[in-house]
Structure 1
Amino acid sequence: MDLTNKKILVTGADGFIGSHLTEELIRRGHDVRAFVLYNSFNSWGWLDQAPNDIKGSLDVFAGDIRDPYGVKVAVKSCDVVLHLAALIAIPYSYHSPDTYIDTNVKGTLNVIQAARELEVQKVVHTSTSEVYGTAQFVPITEQHPLRGQSPYSASKIGADQIAMSFYDSFSLPVSIIRPFNTYGPRQSARAVIPTIITQIANGLTNIKLGALNTTRDFNFVKDTVDGFISVAQSDQSLGEVINIGSNFEISIGETVELIAEVMNEKVKVNTDEMRIRPEKSEVERLWADNAKAKRILGWEPKYGGREGFKRGLRETVEWFTNPHNLSTYKADRYNI
């Protein structure tokens, strides 16, 4: 699909990945409606920090993904929907699972139903590598079994199935993008890489973390954004689930060492029991097979491998260590 002259709705445009995606679409000359969460401060989340030329080009819709009427109003007159809006913090899902069902499952249903009724030409639904649970084989292909090891991952499995059911039942043009662990500027401190960087940047040499032996496949946000746009453009992606990952596995302990090296600091890690997931819920290993993305989309990571990861970390550290950006993070507190 050629996105030229298409009206594109991005839900979750105020968030980490959503704001980067929205900005890149605007830079490429696309017509974008940014769906942000309504709040009394009239905040557009991270889009408030966007350059003025980006903000001036935006059509902003403030609403709530849980409201089917508001969602339908947002979808109206749009040709393409990139659905990112979701609750994603895993620890908070143990605390408030009901909100994850409302937002992630019912919110997705609202988007999909509106897209069907309004005859949207393409929906890209956002999944997560967490739906796989601990890897039963590596690298993880799209055929890997799904296992909801947290209320969050269970809600995303449900959302994925809702989206795909509308492709099977009603021929709604749906694609599912399944990003692995995205990192980069603006990421929430609930994620491990910002947690490490902000503690070091605030002068701590004994940093607090959870499990260190778990492994992840980290994907720089620019690569993830390119993945979204590639899926939206690809007709071959219809009815498909596509991993977007770097195909590089690294432990959290090794990640700490790499970040300390990039920041030219020496640190020790103390295990904080508050940051340990409940028993049996920790996803021990994630490693993406991205062959399908390469074959169908022609996509591959520009920040792949160990050196690509270090390059992405340098860009991330540069952003977080800017005093203005760092001041917005509470590095002394555990962010659930």
Structure 2
Amino acid sequence: MINKKILVTGADGFIGSHLVEELVRRGHQVRAFVLYNSFNSWGWLDGVPVDIKDNIEIFAGDIRDPYGVKKALQGCQVVLHLAALIAIPYSYHSPDTYVDTNIRGTLNLLQAAREVGVEKFIQTSTSEVYGTARFVPINEEHPLQAQSPYAATKIAADQLALSFYLSFGLPVTVVRPFNTYGPRQSARAVIPTIITQLAGGQRRLKLGALHPTRDFNYIKDTVNGFIATLTAENCAGEVINIGSGYEISIGDTARLIAELMGVDDLEIVTDEIRLRPAASEVERLCADNGKACRLLDWQPRYAGREGLARGLGETICWFTNPANLSRYKAELYNI
């Protein structure tokens, strides 16, 4: 893989920027597809170390444009497709944009990859496609349940990708990360929401539902899962969960973060605007990562309560840096 050029879409985002940074550190040739904007911003890639930035080839475009996508793929042998709209509340507000980006954008990339003849196409999924767990731990055979427009578009994108494997032999692997967290994550996610509120001095923490459980996966583990998929053989046509296998409620997560931040006078209140519609709330998630262990030789390094606390500690350290915290509007609800 060192001699292959890798196209990473969504490279300017949370997971994508960490993935690009690690790929470059490991000596890979990376073309980073970032969303075109008039500020010439590369998103989170703007802040990576200079020695990393100097070794990234930037392509500014839009995944919804098939012509730009085809141009971005020229000369690339591998695709890591992470570009997507991901905020669940915003998908209630503007579902049409999710269809355009998550479904049409994926189709554009699949068509171009088929024409170019890429050697590996890694499609990024999400644990949200499972909906509320019917059984735990959730393996890759679990039924798919779209409980939000976001989840519906991700199911569609995954199925499109797999259809190109079955119909045309495109070497697609679907990587399905569970709830990734870590430095650079948007405040629309619950862990940054908790940390930024507490770091801003608030002791009356505003959250949505506290009882749902999640399988939080630290960013380093997620990135290592993607990279393991790059080099793994015999995983074309497979769907692979990347998760820690540890389940914790939102309420207990908030209390653990408060403990790690030395906050002992915490009050948690329910903010109605942060609640999902009842039937849309995913009540329980917990990954079966056995397939990733077998096919990818991957193991979570931040597993269990101890691993979660360690990952949260690293995340808190990043967010409480004043330069990083200033990027966030902790007093506002980020849809």
Length-normalised TM-score, structure 1:
0.99
Match of 2:260 in 1: 262
Match of 2:322 in 1: 323
Match of 1:284 in 2: 283
Tell me the amino acid that sits aligned with residue 323 of structure 2: H
Match of 2:334 in 1: 335
CA offset digits 1:198-224 (Å, max 9, x no partner): 000000000100000000000000000
Tell me the amino acid that sits aligned with residue 245 of structure 1: G
2:191 partner SS:
helix
Shift of 1:279: 2.3
1:97-112 paired onto structure 2 within 5 Å: 97-112=95-110
% same residue = 71
Match of 2:122 in 1: 124
CA offset digits 1:245-271 (Å, max 9, x no partner): 000000001101110111010211010
1:260 partner SS:
helix
Shift of 1:127: 0.3
Query: How far apart, in 1, do the equivalents of 2:180 and 2:29 lie?
Result: 25
Query: How far apart, in 2, do the equivalents of 1:218 and 1:24 lie?
Result: 20
Query: How far apart, in 1, do the equivalents of 2:159 and 2:57 lie?
Result: 30
Alignment of 1:147 onto 2:141:
no
Match of 2:270 in 1: 271
Match of 1:294 in 2: 293
Match of 1:66 in 2: 64
Shift of 1:4: 1.4
2:237 partner SS:
coil
Aligned length: 334
Shift of 1:317: 0.1
Shift of 1:237: 1.4
CA offset digits 1:253-292 (Å, max 9, x no partner): 1101110111010211010000000120000000000000
Query: How far apart, in 1, do the equivalents of 2:267 and 2:76 lie?
Result: 50
Structure 1 runs of 4+ with >3 Å offset = none
2:138 partner SS:
coil
Query: How far apart, in 1, do the equivalents of 2:190 and 2:234 lie?
Result: 34
CA offset digits 1:91-122 (Å, max 9, x no partner): 00000000000000010001111000000110
Match of 1:233 in 2: 231
CA offset digits 1:165-187 (Å, max 9, x no partner): 00000000000000000000000
1:211-230 paired onto structure 2 within 5 Å: 211-230=209-228
Match of 1:249 in 2: 247
1:307 partner SS:
helix
Tell me the amino acid that sits aligned with residue 40 of structure 2: N
1:39 partner SS:
coil
Match of 2:30 in 1: 32
Shift of 1:235: 1.7
Shift of 1:135: 0.1
Tell me the amino acid that sits aligned with residue 167 of structure 2: S
CA offset digits 1:48-91 (Å, max 9, x no partner): 00000111111000000000000000011001000000000000
Q: Which of the numbers 132, 135, 138 marks the counterpart of 2:133?
A: 135
2:234 partner SS:
helix
1:169-208 paired onto structure 2 within 5 Å: 169-208=167-206
Query: How far apart, in 2, do the equivalents of 1:26 and 1:134 lie?
Result: 37
1:236 partner SS:
coil
2:132 partner SS:
coil
Shift of 1:137: 0.3
2:59 partner SS:
strand
Query: How far apart, in 1, do the equivalents of 2:321 and 2:274 lie?
Result: 26
Query: How far apart, in 2, do the equivalents of 1:189 and 1:51 lie?
Result: 23
Query: How far apart, in 2, do the equivalents of 1:158 and 1:231 lie?
Result: 22
Match of 2:161 in 1: 163
Q: What is the CA RMSD across the aligned residues, in angstroms?
A: 0.4
1:13-28 paired onto structure 2 within 5 Å: 13-28=11-26
Q: Which runs of 5+ in 2 are unaligned?
A: none
Shift of 1:239: 0.5
